[in-house]
Structure 1
């Protein structure tokens, strides 16, 4: 459905959890999507739910009330990662479509469980990786497929952010915290998007803080066709959000790959031995695009295309598990084998 097209009715959305990403990005974007209507919000405390409800024009509810509500067609889950599987599962069993913040789950087993349940229930289940909806990545893949870079040899990606406040839940292992599941999954998902699903982790390192949470890491991957991928991520860095594809004929790089502001005009930089070319692309609001894609899919009714979305989420979880399994741990200046 084209942006701005009229809809006969809107998908009634309930927000389960009042997170920072919900407040800053997702719910403001939802207000601009004509195919969506936020009808309910739920939080651990009635006060938080009431504050969010007042801010976004929705009814404050408890978690269970939201799942039971006849005024909710779909649930947006933005709880701590450790609660994603439990509440996404409950929402699917309640007959609601689900848009879940990334990562979908803590591990592959949980991701497979949700994918199987969504299929059985004939419901749409999406992981809210908004960046894959930005047209800049589709353009990159088109250039790859057209042979603009020659034979692809390597892919490298980085997503790092400065240290977070000490009380941030991403420093709490019990809540599913850690750099891999927060920022590391972006390069993993980008590798899947651009290189295909036949990826394997061949090496990894994770750096842990004194509380036992991973705060930075590096992973090496190989595709079935022999393309190698080098991925860096963490909470210890100056900000970086970029990737590069290096082929036999040229290299392509993209900055702000995962978090471009809505007004940013992306630039694909293509470098050859004696030539540099810059392709300027139109700006796009990836949160609105992700929400609209989810709403349109849910309103139309689940079709065969949803299998690809579920497969991508399962494959991302598999790769994250492989990074954990392959990783040597670095802590207190000591290296410990996995």
Structure 2
């Protein structure tokens, strides 16, 4: 492991929009880590993105993994390519930060978690929203009994249709609403309810033209009877929210999953006779996520993969529960 005073050198596998727009600027703004190399199948794309961050452009993903000046890699590739390239990165001795979902298979996810553990490497699934301060504030309200004993949870994340060539519409690359936008309410349920969750039912709406699911809903049940209703899609008006419903009131949060760094969250506590609005300070979940990954690499925080493993299990179970394709 590199000394704490020496920056972690990050290699990037792919020039996805999320890398250029959010993640690499956050890396550049975080002390202790820097972009060392950017790899792409296209030399021109690698050069264009690498130049922005003073990094080396590399043609080909494996060449990034072969570099001695790369300690860790960020994987924003299409989901269907994750398992192969995360495996290659770990076997090359690199720590890994991968965009969600980690893979499209619970068995692949478990195998990669085991591989990372056996080699003493950090493997982190990049759900950035869990690092936003608003959710810890909500957890504090729950712990203080602000709405009494929790009875139910609901969450929704949906986006308007994407351009026809978007990778979300390509089943061979792990496309579809459940893997993409459906992951957010699922992870939110795990964040607040824990991993003792099981799929009680699910429905998916499929598009016959593309072969992917474009929306759906999942019902989860915790061992103590608390239920979670999750809704998601990519043919909808934008929505990004969750609600915790207790015996004495409700907590609601809007702009829950992808707030800009300048956004000041408003947490609402609804009780029978009044509503309390709590406005919080702006927070940057992207830079927080990079800082958390850096701590995992340094060994300052031991990254616990239980939510990643549970996420993969629940997504797979939801797909099974939904049964045969329901065409749009």
Q: TM-score, normalised by structure 1?
A: 0.93
Corresponding residue of 1:325 = 320
Report the counterpart of residue 35 of structure 1 in structure 2.
32
- Equivalent pair of 1:242/1:258 in contact (CA under 8 Å): yes
Deviation at 1:332, TM superposition (A): 4.1
Pair 1:283-2:282 in alignment: yes
Question: What is the match of residue 230 of structure 1?
Answer: 229
Matching residue of 2:48: 51
SS at 1:207 equivalent: strand
Unmatched segments (≥5 aa) in structure 2: none
Tell me by how many angstroms 1:278 deviates: 1.1
Whole-angstrom distance in 2 between the partners of 1:190 and 1:243: 8
Stretch of structure 1 that moved more, 180-189 or 56-65: 56-65
Matches of 1:35 and 1:260 in 2, distance apart?
Answer: 25
Moved more, 48-57 or 324-333: 324-333
Shift of 1:296: 2.2
Are 2:240 and 1:245 aligned? no
Q: Is the 8 A contact 2:205 2:327 kept in 1?
A: no
Query: 2: CA distance between counterparts of 1:52 and 1:242?
Result: 33
Matches within 5 A, 1:134-213: 134-210=132-208, 211-213=210-212
8 Å contact from structure 1 (residues 169, 177) kept in 2 = yes
After TM superposition, the runs of 4+ consecutive aligned structure 1 residues lying more than 4 A away are none
Cα deviation digits, residues 223-248 of structure 1 (max 9, x gap)? 11111100000001100000001100
The separation in 2 between residues aligned to 1:224 and 1:142, in whole angstroms, is 22
CA distance in 1, matches of 2:202, 2:327: 18
Q: What is the Cα deviation at residue 148 of structure 1?
A: 1.2
**Is 1:22 aligned to residue 28 of structure 2?**
no
Please name the residue that 1:336 is paired with.
Answer: none
Q: How many residues in Structure 1 have an aligned counterpart in Structure 2?
A: 323
Q: Distance in 2 between matches of 1:330 and 1:217?
A: 11
Structure 1 residue 139: deviation in Å?
A: 1.3
1:331 alignment partner, SS class: coil
CA distance in structure 2 between the aligned counterparts of 1:76 and 1:332, rounded to whole angstroms: 35
1:255 corresponds to: 254
Distance 2:215 2:18 in 1: 21
Partner SS state of residue 229, structure 1 = strand
Task: Note the aligned Cα RMSD (angstroms).
Answer: 1.2
SS where residue 180 of structure 2 aligns? Answer: helix
2:310 pairs, out of 315, 327, 337, with 315
Alignment gaps of 5+ in structure 1: 1-6, 334-338
Q: In 1, distance between residues paired with 2:166 and 2:80?
A: 14
- How far has the Cα of 1:182 moved from its partner? 0.5
Query: Which runs of structure 2 are paired with 1:284-303 in the superposition (5 Å)?
Result: 284-300=283-299
Deviations along 1:253-273, one digit per CA (max 9) or x if unpaired, are 000100111011111100000
The offset of 1:329, in angstroms, is 4.7
- Return the alpha-carbon distance in structure 2 between the equivalents of residues 275 and 330 of structure 1: 44
What does residue 116 of structure 1 align with? 114
The answer (yes or no) to whether the contact 1:208–1:329 under 8 Å persists in 2 is no
Distance 1:268 1:328 in 2: 37
Q: TM-score, normalised by structure 2?
A: 0.96
1:39 Cα deviation from its structure 2 partner: 0.5
